[in-house]
Amino acid sequence: MADNFREYGWDDEINNEDAFTLLEPGDYEFEIVKYERGRHEGSAKVPPCNKAIVTFKVGDTELNENFLLCSMLEWKLSQLFLSVGLKRHGEPLRMNWSALPGKHGVCKVVQNKYTKDGREYVNNRIDKLYAYDEQPANAVPLTARTSQPTGQWQQPTQQSGWNGGSFGGWNG
């Protein structure tokens, strides 16, 4: 189990207030922490297929990326295995998922802006995994502190018509 996971008891003390940290866009060294097998249920662009959910440690944060096991995304699977040196250019590879944890490489991280439930959010996404022989020399080392707390939580603003202490007209 990952070192950053611990089940709490009902009366345990908690302290950490940061939901996640946001990395600046750029090239970073990474380590693959784990992979999980899953299933993609299908979409308008990709039919149902197996998927791997790969967890990358980048700086002091973890990023999850999905790798769909289908021929139209074979390039992305090759990119993953090339990035850690398990695949060589121009040679076929039988994917060995259990060999991935602990492997290192370099990736390009971007900030991904998206809208959900009418609100805008920003998270990190791996945009590119550099092949083992194409890795930029200026990548941020894995051991460097690469992120800062987001500090994006804001006190909700009071809406007009709000009745302090009244929840939707329920007066219990």
The domain ranges of the chain are 21-145
CA distance 104 to 141: 11
Say how many C-beta atoms besides its own lie within 10 A of residue 28's C-beta. Answer: 27
* pLDDT higher than 50, residue 171: no
In tens, the pLDDT along 120-161 reads: 999 999 999 999 999 999 999 988 654 444 434 333 333 444
Model confidence over 28-46: pLDDT tens digits?
A: 999 999 999 999 999 999 9
Across the range 98-122, mean pLDDT stands at: 95
Six-digit token string for 158: 């009071």
Fold of 21-145: OB fold (Dihydrolipoamide Acetyltransferase, E2P) (2.40.50)
Ramachandran angles phi, psi of 153, nearest 5°: -70, 135
Tokens of 114: 């998206």
> What is the pTM (predicted TM-score) of this model?
0.72
- pLDDT reading at 3 higher than 80: no
Cα 108 to Cα 116: distance, rounded to the nearest angstrom: 24
- Name the helix (H) or strand (E) containing 150: none
Rounded CA gap, 82 and 158, in Å?
A: 52
